[in-house]
Amino acid sequence: MATKSRVPERTATARSRLRDALLEETALTVAQLSRRVGLCEREIPEHLEHLAKSLRAEGMRLEVEPATCVACEYVFADRTRATKPSRCPECSSERIDPAAFRIVVAR
Predicted confidence at residue 8, as pLDDT, reads 38
Predicted confidence at residue 83, as pLDDT, reads 86
Q: For residue 66, is pLDDT > 90?
A: yes
- Alpha helices, DSSP H, located in the chain: 14-22, 30-37, 44-56
Minimal CA–CA distance to 100: which of 18, 31, 37?
31
- SS3 of 46, please? helix
Minimal CA–CA distance to 85: which of 96, 74, 75?
96
Q: One-letter amino acid identity for 17? A: R
What is the mean pLDDT of the segment spanning 92-102? 94
74: pLDDT confidence band, cut at 50, 70 and 90?
A: very high
Q: One-letter amino acid identity for 85? A: P
Q: For residue 99, is pLDDT > 50?
A: yes
